Structure 1
Amino acid sequence: MPIKEEDLQELKNSNSSSRESYGFWKKPEGNENNQGLSQIVTVLRRRVAVIASVAVIVTTGTIGWSATRIPKYEGKFQLLVEPLKTSDNELLILLSQTLQQNVNEISRQNTTALDYQALMEVLKSPKLINPVIQELQKQYPEISYDRLVGNDVSGKLASGREGTLYVNRMAKGKDESRIIEVRYRDSDPQKVQIVLDRISQAYRKYSQDQQQTNLRQGIKFVDEQLPKLRYRVNALQGQLQFFQQQHDLFNPQLQGEQLLKRRDELQATKLETEKKLAEAKSLYLSLQGQLGMPQNEAIAASALSESPQYQQILTRIRDIEAKIATESVRFSDESPTIRLLREQREKLLPLLNKEAQLTLGNNAPDVELNSSQVGGFQNSVRRELIQQLANNTNQVKSLEASLSATKAAQVKLNQQILEYPVLSRQYANMQRELQAATDTLNQLLNRQEALRVDAAQQEVPWELIMPPTLPRNKTGQLMPVSPSGASNILLGGVAGILLGVLVAFVLDNLENVYHDGDEIKQTTQLPLLGVIPFHKELKKLARAGDVVQLTKKHNPERELDNHAKSVQHKSAQFIEAFCSFYTKVQSYKMEASIRSIAITSATSGEGKTTVAAYLAQMAAEAGARVLLVDGDLRHPQIHLRFGLLNNQGLSEVLSDGIDISKVIQQSPSDDNLFILTAGRIPVNPTKLLSSLTMQTFIDRSQTNYDLVVYDTPHLLGRLDTNVLLSQVDGIVLVTGLGKALRPTLKQALEELKSSRVSILGTVANTVEH
């Protein structure tokens, strides 16, 4: 299909075209949130035929299975095994008036916890079922106990089993009711009705007998327990009373608080007394320092200073001592005058001591009487200080006595506090036992009254709220429960769809390949530059060397057959995909000054050579001067696609230094397209591609051409590919739909990511598979 002139003009003037953001490994915003759901929808859309086929097969099988089944009928009845609370209002009010208690309190105490699990076992026990079976065997000999209760089945009994009785407690959500439901299924509806009638009668008779037995046993048990409980309550009351009297304990909590408060008060008193004692001792030392004598001597000095007789004798002694001092200047110590004066003084000293003893009384032996300070005259100031010292001494002794008493009280109180928790715990244990015994006694008394009222009343047995019934439709006809026609078909259809979805996902996971461009975009997080459709006819043209004849003219007046029209339509789609691809590349080229592009893929056979050839063709058609280089020196393909000779090419330019202009060939279909084939296969392509000559070639080609397109080898396992990719301005990664394995593409992306190359985006190529 030829490209229209306006399309070519749009490619040449692509400055006005919309541009996409250019970047390295930039992830679209919000893409991660919808990736999982998008993949699921994609798989379902792709495998819709598989899902539909599986659904039809399962539904058809369900219809056939339902048509061959014998109809079964199921009946049921429901028993209310405990009376409803609302039905006992009048009885509760009467009891509350009799016992002087609240209605709610009596209701709570009267609530019985029926063991429903044990009840289920009783309802299926031989004691109840065997008499019913003996009666039923007269009409239905095949009925047996093991079959009816399900004992012939090992393990869990399947729901809805024919000929088996199902007894269950009805429930709504987590709340279980007081209703027992009994179901029975069989192919004979008359048999179902008869069995359920006999079972319901047996259950009601059992409830009536059991209720009367339970009431009598309950009354007897209460009457036996009451005397024991009364004795226990009285004994506990006596023990508690004796304990309170023995330990003077009436209110443990209040008394405990008082002990702690008293401890704090004693501690505060102790601290205050210690403070005052320290102050008094400090004052004592100060007064003693001022007087220069101990306390006893100071008091004695004060007393002797106030005694006239003592002072007179003391004055005479001092006068004699003065004369001795005067005469000792003139006379020697052995002179009569000195001896006389000394004799006079010696005679007065006993009188002085006698007078001091009379004045001081019992304190005289503790005082040095011959001290000049004691015997000397004390003035009013010293006498005042002596008085303060005496008072201070009395205060110190008083404070020391008070501190000693406070410490003793603290020791005793701390001992009480240590012992108090034990007493308090014993008191609490005794009180708790008394309370529990009292509560039990009260409950038994209440139960005794309630049981007597129940026994006095004629209570009805279990209430049959739903009699044995088989389901019928609106016309009154019996409705089988199995098979269920429309419901089975609906379930089969739903199951078929679910199974089809499961098969679809299994098939998709087994293939483990990419099926559309959106999957590739989500995996790589790179821009999707284009999706190339597969066209078988174009593949034939490629083999014939006409791959790049995009503008081949055709006669519009010539009538085309259906095959030719189909080929023309597919060719138009193919060319439009490359037109869109080149438009995006052109926008990158103008944004980031891209002059060279490498086309590569993760593995071989994904169509990278086809993409490179058509991209170069499209750029040349748009008016750009393009050089297409076959960079796959191991397996060159470009010369085959264009029908060119491959005698000399890139290998000779790099190894032999041949001028580029001598090996470049011009495309036979476009004057703007120039092709450099690979040339002979070298021994070490990696060495040639990483040489300085290769870098010179790249720089020169980018200068002489508007765009240089490299067809490179695939990525995985090729070192020469990574060398070449690192030297170009941008990379386009081609991924073959239906061929590229997911792990392989992810591995290739990791290699590109570690190489830090600039990736423009990906191209999804629909290859034949």
Structure 2
Amino acid sequence: MEATQVAISLSHKRLSEPELQVSQPELQVVRLEGGQSNISCRVRVVAGLALALTSGAIAQNVHQAPQYEGKFELAAAPVNAARSLPSPQIQDVNQTIPVSALNSDQIQVLKSPMLVEPIVERLKAQIPDLDYAAVKESLQITANDPQHLEVSYRDANPQTVHLVLEQLAKAYVDYSQQCQSDRCRGIAFIETQIPQVQQQVKQRRTEIEQLYRQNGIKNLDAQMGLVTARTTEVAKQKAEVNGKILQANQQYTELQSRMALQPNEAIAANILSQNPRYQGLLSQLQVVDQKLAIEFKQLDISNPRLEALNAQHQILLSQLNQEAQQALQRYLSNPGANLQNPIFQDKASLNLLQQSVVTVNYLQVLKTTQQRLVQMEGVLKQQRSQLTKVLYQYGQFRQDLESKTQILQQYLDQLKVLKAQSPQQTALQISSPPQMLEDSTGKITSIESDDQNYAGAIAALGILLGVGAIVGPNLVGSVAKRVGLQKVRQVTG
């Protein structure tokens, strides 16, 4: 009985133990099924999110206008590659730089308002909504290597792309052909100034020549000295003549008194006035004196005409004096002369009358000389005033000429130094002209923008999430069942 009970209890224990072991996998399967329920709920949320993302991305792609792109390439080959210059440091995007090596600093300059804004202004008439910010945002400049740049531009309007690229290409080439370095700008400035200064020097020389020619001047300093000397000489002669006239008048008055004649009894003067030969010689002498005064207007240092007139004046003066000496005898021998005056009957009185005739002739010559000297004095005064003005103008012209000549020489010297120190500039050239992006058939085609790529990525992500949401629950359930069955098999053997 005891043995039988022990055997039954042992068999009962064996039977009860497997039942306890089997219950654990069942609980685990239940947990997996609960987790599967939670996953299914989350998957439905993810699927809804994926659907929203995909719909939004598709809607964005539908409403976004296609973008067109064009590009061109620039090449820079340094003329003097042996001399390398340090890369300039750009403090201002509007600063100009030498185009000896293409780098990021130069790309900033090429995209700067200095170059782009004029293009925008030129295209405003054709593209009213174009502005600098839009162009800068759509403009891409990439340095493929130190000597090549790729310039690309994109817009929803292919015509806008074409126009902007054409203008950019021209602006960049023109910009690179300008002097960029300080030395080169200095050379350009000097080269523009030299012709102007040369023209100013030439003009001043021409003005000086015209000044001489218009005023009959050959040697201004010498002629000014001549006028000064003549003025001094005329003043001296005038003073001497005035003194001689005073003495001659006194002598004539004394002779009149000795002959007991009144001042208005001009017998000596009447004798001379009635002598045709004397009057003819006196007239000739007066004409020569006038010519001498006129000839003083000529400022030639050596004047043959003046010398000839002086010689003629001396001859006439000598002839006039001789005729005055003979005038009394001619008068006395004239049958028509009035000799009733007792003065003609007295020998002493005739001697005084002869002296009086000579004195009157002397006074006539002195007065003629005085008139000539007065005329000469006026001419010299006018000439001196004229020469003073001319001398002032000449001084101004000469000073300006010397200044301009000095500036011209400084420019030439500085140009020589700058050319020796300045490296040769490098100009950008279009290695590939502006062209639009085309497909295999040669038609202009649009490109996918970054926003379109982003929207496409979102759509792809949404699709993947959607697929995961559909496949996920079945996959989890299948895995859970397989795990539960495997555990049961391990327990039951």
TM-score (norm 2): 0.35
TM-score (norm 1): 0.23
The structure carrying a bigger helix percent of its residues is 2
Which structure would you say has the larger RCO, counting Cα contacts within 8 Å and 6 or more residues apart?
2
